[in-house]
Amino acid sequence: MVCPLLHLHLRVGRRQAEFMAVEFSDSHVTSVSMRVGGKKGQWVSLEIESARADGAFLNGLAEAWTMDDDYRALFGHSGSRSYVGRAFPEFPAARAARAAAEAEALEREEKRARRAEALGRVLSAGEAASDEDLWAARSGTDEFSRLSLAALTAELGDIAEQTLKAAQRFELDGRYQAVALRWAARGMVPDVAARKALIDREIAFLARRGR
């Protein structure tokens, strides 16, 4: 049994395209026929499993076929091709979205690596950590980022007491005392954690002033 699914006449600028899709329900195969150039254009027919040929697929194929010359060239200028049991060429929009997602993931990983390297320099230097290295250190969002001052104090015990004493010498308020404890939780020694919180306060001040 043949079930018509779609019949489109598309126009992009001066380009005309025709796109038809029918399903052969007995074999669970969908046949898609496409041509560009009006009645003078040659038909290209494709077959694919009906389970893959949903509305999103057909609309994506119609758009890519009509608008992207390079994509259309993948199927040749005429004839019939079967993609039953075979991978179908990825739509340009999907390929672009995948590339953007991969680039974003790579950028996140590079940022994570830079943060780890900067923090590693501070931890290796210990008490001798320079202000330059402390300015460069960033945490991103981790398991300590949302812990309150009380939770951090309970978690860190004696280290919290030492860090809070150092933070008080720098006249840090409760917010930045918590910042100091977070850096201590990440491995900084108490005095360095307090210095880092002081620098973070300065960074925040400069950011507000620059708005």
Q: Which residue, of 43, 63, 89, is where some domain finishes? A: 89
Residue 190's pLDDT is: 96
Parent domain of 54: 2-89
Mean pLDDT in residue range 89-106: 94
Q: Which residue, of 37, 58, 89, is where some domain finishes? A: 89
79 lies in the same domain as 108: no
Q: What is the 3-state secondary structure (H, E, C) of the chain?
A: CEEEEEEEEEEECCEEEEEEEEEECCCCEEEEEEEECHHHCCCEEEEEECCCCCHHHHHHHHHHHHHCHHHHHCCCCCEEEECCCCCCCCCHHHHHHHHHHHHHHHHHHHHHHHHHHHHHHHHHHHHHCCHHHHHHCCCCCCCCCCCCHHHHHHHHCHHHHHHHHHHHHCCCCHHHHHHHHHHHHCCCCHHHHHHHHHHHHHHHHHHHHCC
Cα–Cα distance, 49 to 113 (Å, whole number):
44
111 lies in the same domain as 202: yes
Q: Which residue, of 52, 69, 89, is where some domain finishes? A: 89
72 lies in the same domain as 106: no
User: What is the four-CA torsion angle of 114, 117, 121, 126, rounded to 10 degrees?
Assistant: 110
Residue 139's pLDDT is: 86
- CA-based nearest residue to 47, from 17, 91, 76, 86: 86
- Give the total number of structural domains in the chain: 2
113 lies in the same domain as 16: no
Residue 38's pLDDT is: 76
111 lies in the same domain as 192: yes
68 lies in the same domain as 121: no
- CA-based nearest residue to 145, from 119, 110, 181: 181
Residue 41's pLDDT is: 84
Mean pLDDT in residue range 140-148: 91
Is 85's pLDDT higher than 90?
yes
Is 211's pLDDT higher than 70?
no
Tokens 């939780």 sit at which residue?
185
- CA-based nearest residue to 121, from 132, 112, 110, 111: 132
Mean pLDDT in residue range 134-149: 92
Residue 210's pLDDT is: 72
Residue 25's pLDDT is: 86
106 lies in the same domain as 46: no
205 lies in the same domain as 105: yes
Cα–Cα distance, 3 to 93 (Å, whole number):
28
135 lies in the same domain as 85: no
34 lies in the same domain as 130: no
116 lies in the same domain as 184: yes
Give pLDDT tens digits for 9-47.
Answer: 888 777 788 989 999 988 999 999 999 887 788 899 999
Tokens 């917010």 sit at which residue?
175
Give pLDDT tens digits for 114-137.
Answer: 999 999 999 999 999 999 999 999
Q: Work out the pLDDT band at 6, boundaries 50, 70, 90.
A: confident
113 lies in the same domain as 57: no
Is 144's pLDDT higher than 80?
yes
Q: Residue 94 contacts by C-beta under 8 Å, 6 or more apart in sequence?
A: 60
Is 195's pLDDT higher than 90?
yes
Residue 65's pLDDT is: 86
